């Protein structure tokens, strides 16, 4: 396993090594852009499918809005321009000619979707209007890092309009919990903390931002998804109003929410070990990899048969019988790619009517009678899913300190998360922490829930950490 830099030696370098050796991604030719390789993209496709199913279950519909946005749209909401203009890519030449009005490559589709929400929102009967889009967006990035910060990334952005504040708030919360938290904990096996952002960390223009924060292997936080209530700010800027049942016009209340290819970075950093990636079985594009121990006709035939019986059992299975590669190389490849369960098929085992089942998370090897393989592999997959989650919870608990002073919070956040009463921090304390690159990742209730609107400050707990 000497192919990767150990995490303890140099975590960022280990991350780069995993990206390269697991064939996940590499730099694109234009600075800050990325090429997502087939295995990295397969992980993203599985994330997309799982998140998309949850978004649809929450009643939102997918649509597609243009890549190009008139520059004037971005000026419509002052806070937007400020936030985005240093990050914009601007097209000035189109069809061989200088354009009269330059167009911006979307850094988000918020403004263009706002325009159409306004058009499609006429009567209270049109509400709620629940839209989602899967797309690429561009934010010029000077210090790029594959999957975590890149000039172009893939994401999903939801934009909804509601008749009243309570409906908008409930929907934004539903998305944070039923889409993001559910996916991140139950599929990605990352025990995210869900809470609200402080005013300082809130999305520009939002009245409330909910966030899912995961702890990475180095104790830093990664913001994995956010859901915003935008109040009527956005509706006012884009004139999203409707004719109420009362015959009068009312401004709508809007929300927006998103998650991105950044989650692939989170997956790597939350579960990876010194042997490479470890993919939770519910996410894994390949849950089971079957490896013939040697290039022997009978062994390969038995492996092939195993692949089809496991596939018939509803599992995602692949055979790796590449003739040019030694068994050891194929094992290392499966480990680096983090395939949850490996089944090794050898002539001696076969003679004894067994195969060897190996869990990626614990490296435990178990001989299993051929007749029981499907059941035992399924059970092993459940164990790996639960095992990765339990490990992530244990890491987070071990690296989270309950403190009461800002000095102790700063000390604890050097290696993990600090939990501290928000009343002991406040906006001044937050500003002081920021000087050491420490941020309040979120505010929660004492029992770790999303605080209801108007929860008194002295009932809030702040989570403080370094972050990506």
Work out whether 70 is an interface residue with its own copies (CB under 8 A). yes
Return d(Cα 177, Cα 199) in angstroms, integer. Answer: 21
Work out whether 311 is an interface residue with its own copies (CB under 8 A). no
Nearest-5° angle of CA 36, CA 41, CA 46? 155
Give min distance, CB of 344 to its own copies, in A.
22
Reduce the DSSP state of residue 139 to 3 states and report it: coil
Work out whether 30 is an interface residue with its own copies (CB under 8 A). yes
C-beta nearest to Zn ion: residue: 241
Task: Enumerate residues 6+ apart whose C-beta is below 8 A from 105.
Answer: 67, 68, 69, 88, 89, 90, 91, 138
Burial track 270-279 (b if 16+ CB lie within 10 A, e otherwise):
bbbbebbbbb
Helix H or strand E encompassing 366: strand 365-369
Among 11, 14, 15, 41, binds its own copies (CB under 8 A): 41
Cβ–Cβ < 8 Å for 412, 418: yes
Give min distance, CB of 66 to Zn ion, in A.
21
**What is the footprint of Zn ion within residues 87-126 (CB under 5 A)?**
118
Reduce the DSSP state of residue 65 to 3 states and report it: coil
Write down the residue that tokens 């089942």 correspond to.
Answer: 357
DSSP type of residue 370: G
Site string for Zn ion, 159-198 (x = CB under 5 A): ----------------------------------------
Which of 183, 189, 182 minimizes the C-alpha distance to 388? 189
Site string for its own copies, 102-141 (x = CB under 8 A): xx-x------x--xx------x-x-----x---xx-x-xx
Work out whether 28 is an interface residue with its own copies (CB under 8 A). yes
Give min distance, CB of 70 to Zn ion, in A.
19
Work out whether 349 is an interface residue with Zn ion (CB under 5 A). no
Cβ–Cβ < 8 Å for 430, 445: no
How many residues of this chain interact with its own copies, rule: CB under 8 A? 57
Alpha helical stretches, state H, 212-346:
233-238, 262-271, 297-312, 327-336
Between 235 and 355, CB nearer to Zn ion = 235
Among 115, 152, 241, 349, binds Zn ion (CB under 5 A): 241
Work out whether 322 is an interface residue with its own copies (CB under 8 A). yes
Between 71 and 218, CB nearer to its own copies = 71
Return d(Cα 293, Cα 300) in angstroms, integer. Answer: 9
Work out whether 243 is an interface residue with its own copies (CB under 8 A). no
Contact residues toward its own copies (CB under 8 A) are 28-30, 33-38, 40-42, 44-45, 61-70, 73, 85-96, 102-103, 105, 112, 115-116, 123, 125, 131, 135-136, 138, 140-142, 151-152, 154, 322, 324
């Amino acid at each position: 396993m000497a192919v990767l830099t150990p995490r303890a030696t140099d975590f960022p370098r280990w991350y780069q090594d995993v990206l390269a050796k697991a064939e996940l991604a590499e730099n694109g030719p234009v600075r800050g852009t990325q090429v997502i390789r087939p295995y990295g993209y397969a992980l993203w496709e599985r994330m997309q499918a799982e998140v998309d199913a949850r978004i649809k279950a929450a009643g939102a519909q997918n649509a597609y809005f243009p890549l190009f946005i008139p520059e004037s749209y971005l000026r419509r909401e002052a806070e937007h321009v400020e936030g985005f203009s240093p990050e914009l890519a601007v097209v000035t030449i189109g069809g061989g000619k200088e354009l009269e009005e330059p167009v911006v490559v979307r850094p988000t589709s918020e403004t263009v979707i706002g325009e159409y929400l306004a058009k499609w929102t006429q009567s209270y009967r049109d509400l709620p209007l629940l839209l989602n889009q899967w797309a690429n967006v561009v934010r010029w990035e000077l210090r790029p890092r594959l999957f975590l910060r890149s000039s172009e990334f893939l994401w999903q952005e939801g934009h909804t309009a509601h008749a009243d504040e309570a409906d908008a708030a409930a929907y934004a919360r539903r998305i944070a919990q039923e889409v993001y938290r559910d996916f991140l904990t139950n599929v990605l096996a990352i025990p995210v903390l869900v809470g609200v952002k402080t005013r300082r960390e809130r999305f520009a223009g939002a009245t409330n931002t909910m966030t899912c924060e995961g702890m990475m292997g180095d104790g830093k936080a990664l913001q994995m998804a956010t859901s915003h209530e935008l109040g009527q700010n956005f509706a006012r800027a884009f004139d999203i109003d409707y004719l109420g049942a009362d015959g009068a016009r009312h401004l709508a209340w809007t929300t927006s929410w998103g998650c991105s290819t950044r989650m692939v970075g989170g997956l790597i950093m939350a579960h990876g070990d010194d042997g490479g990636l470890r993919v939770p079985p519910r996410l894994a594009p390949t849950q089971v990899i079957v490896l013939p121990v040697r290039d022997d006709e009978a062994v390969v035939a038995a492996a092939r048969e195993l692949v089809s019986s496991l596939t018939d059992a509803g599992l995602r299975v692949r055979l790796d019988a590449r003739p040019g590669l030694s068994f050891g190389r194929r094992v290392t490849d499966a480990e680096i790619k983090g395939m949850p369960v490996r089944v090794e098929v050898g002539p001696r085992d076969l003679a004894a009517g067994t195969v060897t089942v190996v869990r990626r998370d614990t490296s435990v090897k178990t001989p299993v009678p051929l007749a029981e393989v499907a059941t035992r592999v399924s059970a092993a997959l459940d164990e790996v899913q639960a095992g990765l989650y339990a490990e992530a919870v244990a890491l987070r608990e071990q690296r989270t300190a309950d403190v009461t002073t800002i000095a102790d919070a700063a000390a604890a956040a050097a290696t993990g998360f600090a939990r501290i009463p928000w009343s002991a921090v406040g906006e001044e304390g937050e500003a002081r922490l920021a000087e050491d690159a420490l941020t309040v990742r979120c505010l929660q209730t004492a029992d770790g829930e999303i605080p209801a609107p108007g929860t008194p400050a002295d009932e809030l707990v702040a989570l403080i950490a370094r972050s990506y």
